[in-house]
Structure 1
Amino acid sequence: MAASYSNGNGSILLNDTGIEDESVSALFAFHNWYNFYHGYLACVVCVFGVVANIFNIIVLTRKNMQSPTNVLLTGLAVSDGLTMAAYFPFALYFYVMEGKRTIHSARFLLFYAIFSVLVHSVSIWLTVTLALFRYIFIRYPRRGVILCSIHRAKLAIVIVSFAVIVVCLPTCLMYEVTPMTENSDQWVISIKRNGTLDNIIEKTNFWSQAVLIKLVPCFMLTVLSIMLVKTMKDAEKRRKKLLQKSHKTDDDSTRERKTNRTTRMLLAVVILFLLTETPQGVLHILSGTIEGFFDTVYYPLGDLLDILALINNGINFILYCTMSKQFRDTFLVIFFKATRVGGHHLVSTHMSTRESDL
């Protein structure tokens, strides 16, 4: 998530980034306009997103839906849902209610700042893991069943969660709650700068967030997306050749088309993720390398970056419903007690692990 909460007083600082004053003024004019609506919009998106991710978890954990891909999507739904659940009280109190910065609200803000980074980072790396699993599965279909098993998908979630906690440890150590001014009843979170160790932690946090949470995942997802598209095209060519030689049954052809549909849907998830995370990653890097860039560019765009990330966290349910018949049918069975549509059973309870992907 964007660190739009970091600037405690919201004052316009000097422009020493080399960017024209007119551009900076336009950014702050946009910030001041959108800031009024952001809290209300964010609360609506968060409520929808939390409910949608609960639906995702319920559907994806059904017995007929068990597969390595769906295990990873379940983990992604949990981390996305937690991200939005944490953002809701933040947006409600600081934007809608415009609550005072008491010591209790500042402590909550500190918790939110750390927790949101953790769960959002888990979402980022689970998306990378999902793309990697999918590439292995369609590139090496026989070995992929073994290499990308349900057990390994669950293990990947544990490893990603643990690794993110380690990488984000400096984030947990670099902030503290302090009075806004001496003898003030207004409290803010600020970066610790009490010595050399605090400076090292601050620099370590910046580069670990910039490289391991922003640049590397976006680069890997871009490469994996290109490789997935190429592999899908190659697989489609092979399928057509085999069909012409009549070496494949209708069941084989149907299964492979279903695999491609699943891959296309996962590509949509990955591409939407890239569209929201890449700009934030670029701005994050520029904020740490260009003096004054954060205050004059990143900060006024922070709320916009946040709402884009929140929308991305909640949109997967819509993608699943529109692009996956099995997800849609299972959802109807669970929540509307439907068992038949158009004379056909909606869900088969005898599906192989390979066939039970979305």
Structure 2
Amino acid sequence: MDTEDRIDFYPLANTSRVNFKSQSLDGAILTNDVLDYSRANFSLNENQSDYGPFYSNFTRYDDYCSSNLSHTYLNVTCEFPINYAEPMYGYIAPFLLATTTVANTLIVVVLSRRHMRTPTNIVLMAMALCDMLTMLFPAPWLFYMYTFGNHYKPLTPPPACTAWNYMNEVIPAMFHTASIWLTLALAVQRYIYVCHAPVARTWCTMPRVIKCLIYIGLAAFLHQLPRFFDRRYVPHVTVWRGQLKDVCQMEMAPWVKTISLDAYFIAYFAFRVLFVHLIPCTSLVVLNVLLFRAMKKAQINRQKLFKDNRKSECKRLRDSNCTTLMLIVVVTVFLLVEIPVAVVTILHIISSTIVEILDYHIANILILITNFCIIVSYPINFAIYCGMSRQFRETFKELFIRGAVTGRKNGGSSRYSLVNGPRTCTNETVL
């Protein structure tokens, strides 16, 4: 595979910058501490003829970024199709970051109220935190590189390059992985509530749910732990704008070279494809179908109860259905943005290890767009909760809207009853 046949993913997709089948080429270039100037990197349209005709050959963006020179040091301009990345991540992403931060902070504040603390809401709160942190960590670098237009400049010193790698790739991928597994845990939990209610009293207690959240966070951290140590950035001298410039050069860690780069990345991607993309997405599709069927069946039962004038049971069933429908919508939005990323990642694995089937220029654009759609989806959950949960709306009004008073009925709150249990859509029925 040629050097240009590489796929670089935004940290949400969390694939490596180094393609499996291009390891021998990239590795040979990146392991030299100081390269001679005949292999030095130049910025766009800054190749100086003073250094010989070799440099003047690179007059176009495509020629420059497809050359071996573009991988000599950390070069953000050549990591993504810049014509798409700059407007998405430089101009639109800051607005989405502000919206996500405000919306998810409000979700955490509302769901952390005492009367809102249920097993389901604890998972929803953890998801909101993970989604927010997935955007917050790379935000300073997105601003610096794309909003302020510094993507073409060499990044230096090496600690800054290391921070770029951690904050833009490794840490966001860790939180996004946790968010994926939390979504699966949410669907499994709701399936138990709806289809196996008797065991919900045992398996869906608050202590068990909190333990599950801790295990998920630990698993996501361990999954990304090797990425903290699989490379290092060392000082490197290159020619940039006709002058010698100190930049960062990436080297793979000795332990990665010992086990071989192909083995390391294949193992990493195989695990990610199976346990972060394929199995969670497939399970969520199945669980969504089962929940939808159970909800339809419960709706028929509710109509029978209503005809029999069993209003208390009818109300309880309605509230359960309302919660189920809201969570089905949350999971569906998640699947709509995650499945395309999973498909492109799987195709990347096939194209890198078995047979070349991808046009990597198009694939890079697709993965850029699909990852951007993931960012766009982050504030949507707040709208879903506000639109489909009366209890969430009432609690939000009590906290943030002066003069808003929750309606009372028979001396009790309309949103919660110690006798009949939760009456609205975000909490469970009596469990």
If the TM-score is normalised by the length of the shorter chain, which range does it land in?
0.7 to 0.9
Against the structure 1 CA distance between its residues 130 and 3, is the aligned structure 2 distance closer, same or farther, given a 3 Å change threshold? closer
Aligned to 1:69: 120
- Are 1:174 and 1:191, in contact at CA under 8 Å, matched by a contact in 2? yes
1:6 positional shift: 3.6
- Are 1:210 and 1:285, in contact at CA under 8 Å, matched by a contact in 2? yes
* Greater relative CO, 1 or 2 (CA 8 Å, sep 6+): 1
Give the % identical residues.
27
1:323 positional shift: 1.0
- Which stretch shows the higher mean deviation, 285-294 or 59-68? 285-294
Alpha-carbon displacement from aligned partner over 1:292-346 (angstroms, at most 9, x marks no partner): 6484233223332222111222211111111111101100100113442678787
Against the structure 1 CA distance between its residues 353 and 89, is the aligned structure 2 distance closer, same or farther, given a 3 Å change threshold? farther
**Alignment partner of 1:340: what SS?**
coil
**Alignment partner of 1:194: what SS?**
helix
Alpha-carbon displacement from aligned partner over 1:13-44 (angstroms, at most 9, x marks no partner): 49xxxxxxxxxxxxx9x944433311111111
Aligned partner of 2:166 among 103, 108, 111:
111
Letter in 2 for 1:316: N
TM-score normalised to the size of structure 2? 0.71
**In structure 1, distance between residues paired with 2:421 and 2:237:** 60
Against the structure 1 CA distance between its residues 349 and 230, is the aligned structure 2 distance closer, same or farther, given a 3 Å change threshold? closer
Give the 5 Å matches for 1:1-358: 1-3=12-14, 6=17, 11=62, 13=66, 31-38=81-88, 39-99=90-150, 100=153, 101-102=155-156, 103-112=158-167, 113-178=169-234, 185-187=246-248, 191-192=252-253, 194-246=257-309, 248=310, 250-291=311-352, 293=358, 295-340=360-405, 348=415, 350-351=417-418, 355=423, 358=426
**In structure 2, distance between residues paired with 1:316 and 1:195:** 45
**In structure 1, distance between residues paired with 2:249 and 2:259:** 22
**Alignment partner of 1:177: what SS?**
strand
**In structure 2, distance between residues paired with 1:71 and 1:341:** 23
**Unaligned runs of at least 5 residues, structure 2:** 1-11, 19-40, 44-60, 68-77, 239-243, 427-431
**Alignment partner of 2:229: what SS?**
helix
Letter in 2 for 1:110: N
Alpha-carbon displacement from aligned partner over 1:251-280 (angstroms, at most 9, x marks no partner): 221121111111111111101100111100
Q: Please identify which structure carries the higher helix content.
A: 1
Number of aligned positions between the proteins: 342
**Alignment partner of 2:246: what SS?**
coil
1:87 positional shift: 2.9
Aligned to 2:29: none
**Alignment partner of 1:187: what SS?**
strand
**In structure 1, distance between residues paired with 2:387 and 2:423:** 18
Alpha-carbon displacement from aligned partner over 1:106-153 (angstroms, at most 9, x marks no partner): 122111211011000000000000000001101122322332112221
**Alignment partner of 1:176: what SS?**
strand
**Unaligned runs of at least 5 residues, structure 1:** 15-27
- Are 1:66 and 1:353, in contact at CA under 8 Å, matched by a contact in 2? no
1:165 positional shift: 2.0
Against the structure 1 CA distance between its residues 227 and 215, is the aligned structure 2 distance closer, same or farther, given a 3 Å change threshold? same
TM-score normalised to the size of structure 1? 0.85
**In structure 2, distance between residues paired with 1:165 and 1:259:** 34
Letter in 2 for 1:2: A
> In angstroms, what is the RMSD of aligned CA positions?
3.0
Letter in 1 for 2:361: T
Aligned to 2:21: none
The structure whose Rg is larger is 2
